[in-house]
Amino acid sequence: MARIYIKTYGCQMNERDSEQVAQMLMERGHSITVREEEADVVLLNTCSVRDLAEQKALGKMGMLRALSRDRPIVYGLLGCMAQNRGSALLNELPHLDLVVGTQKFHRVADHVDQAIERKWSTRLDDVRFSIVDVDEEANSQRTIRDHVLGERQATAFVSIMQGCNMHCTFCIVPFTRGHERSRPLQEIVDEVKSLVAKGVKEVTLLGQIVNLYGRHEFVSVDGKSPFVQLLEALQEVSGLERIRFTSPHPIGFRNDLIESFGRLPKLVEHIHLPLQSGSNRILKAMHRTYTAEKFAALVDRIRSVTPTIAITTDIIVGFPGETDDDYARTHELADRVGFDNAFIFKYSKRKGTPAAEMEQQVPDSVKENRNQDLLELINSWAKRRSEPFVGREVEILCEGPSKTNPSRLTGRTRGNKIVVFEGAPQHIGTLLNIRIARSTGYTLYGHPVGG
């Protein structure tokens, strides 16, 4: 039996896929290690969304080769970059044994076993034996369904669909994750029920375009989209306390979903709603199919139903052709909305996407300046959005020890604000009220009420 090191790059969906891979390997008797130096098998689950993420994984895989000086090691690249580059990766990294794409995570355990057997018996490092498995597979979206839960783990990710048909011109996802495919509703509900039976209280539903769940497979009923039908079904799961989802597209964020926040108590008061740009010209070139005005109106409608809702976003700066004036519109809209938090990305050329071929690529120094400027605005809004919590009591779900200071505990409010507090081990995995004493902008600090 082998010791297996898995490192994950990128989004929550990648985390979730790695969890599935780990579960299947453990089921076969392998163990998972967090120490690369003791691993027999090294798996990097990769991200392609920006060039930096690819370079990091390639660099890491190159460095890890040194491990095989003293003993045979099986090396695998999984996920988005594996899907996108396929067997070409073997030219760059000839020590790779496995290249496994995004529709084949459920095959990783078989491939690992096969590679181990060969490596351990022959000790051969020969690309002729490398396994490249990057084909499409019908129903692969239904294979991400098993979990590895830690002790007192109260939160879990649930992948409800795969792929995206939107074809935003900057985005590699259609190439790495394929077209939209959704899981049957009942299968998702059953998965959530089994998580709840093991102590999970909060689920985050995952999809590249999560609010369009089921649009090709299922029909709307009484004006409710398949996604809203799923939310309603999950509302009925007793013992489940909180439902989150990420990431939706502003297109398809219709009234049935907006109203759900008013009537489904388990649906938390937080939406991550990617804006990308506040310039209509750039939105059009991005193929985002909404305008700045429509985005602002959507936020207003959401807030009219749920005034306290936290809204976070993704913004790209330096998309090809973005002028100072275009960027000023983004700044203006971000200021008008007043996001609770935002991920800001400098545009990164992705080979094969339409934007990579566009003229007027923006120099890095300009991207950097816009990035800094926007970051300041986002930080100041984050502070303004957190400040009102000081002196108040908030409900949090305690996730465990704080990463920065393990003697303290951490959890999140329904609005997804991180709260750090002095607590006791029995708080882990439970909902409790915290009185907030201070805020640093992104983190709130406080004490258990009555504790």
Closer CB to ligand 5AD, 65 or 281, in the complex: 281
Residues 378 and 371: beta-carbon distance below 8 Å = no
Mapping DSSP to helix (H, G, I), strand (E, B) and coil, where does residue 30 land? coil
Closer CB to ligand 5AD, 132 or 317, in the complex: 317
Closer CB to ligand 5AD, 177 or 181, in the complex: 177
By the rule CB under 6 A, 49 interacts with ligand 5AD: yes
**Interface with ligand 5AD by CB under 6 A: which range of 12-20, 226-234, 341-349, 416-424?**
341-349
DSSP letter at 361 equals: P
Closer CB to ligand 5AD, 115 or 334, in the complex: 334
Unique residue bearing structure tokens 């080979």: 351
Residues 438 and 448: beta-carbon distance below 8 Å = no
Give the integer Cα–Cα distance in Å for 191 and 159: 10
Helix, strand, coil shares, percent, the chain, to 5: 40, 20, 35
Give the integer Cα–Cα distance in Å for 192 and 202: 9
Closer CB to ligand 5AD, 345 or 381, in the complex: 345
Among 225, 227, 241, 315, smallest CA distance to 279 is for: 315
By the rule CB under 6 A, 261 interacts with ligand 5AD: no
**Residue from the set 75, 157, 170, 327 that interacts with ligand 5AD by CB under 6 A:** 170
The radius of gyration of the chain from alpha carbons, rounded to an integer in Å, stands at 23
**Residue from the set 345, 381, 389, 421 that interacts with ligand 5AD by CB under 6 A:** 345
Least distance to ligand 5AD, CB of residue 12, Å: 10
Give the integer Cα–Cα distance in Å for 418 and 411: 6
Closer CB to ligand 5AD, 313 or 410, in the complex: 313
Provide the b/e sequence for 197-217 (b: ≥16 CB within 10 Å): eeebbbbbbbbbbbbbbbbee
**Residue from the set 30, 50, 270, 367 that interacts with ligand 5AD by CB under 6 A:** 50
Terminal Cα distance for the chain, rounded: 46
**Residue from the set 14, 45, 84, 276 that interacts with ligand 5AD by CB under 6 A:** 276
**Interface with ligand 5AD by CB under 6 A: which range of 22-30, 155-163, 343-351, 441-449?**
343-351
Mapping DSSP to helix (H, G, I), strand (E, B) and coil, where does residue 171 land? coil
- Binding residues for ligand 5AD, rule CB under 6 A, total 12
In the complex, which residues of this chain contact ligand 5AD (CB under 6 A)? 49-50, 170-171, 274, 276, 314, 316, 345, 347-348, 350
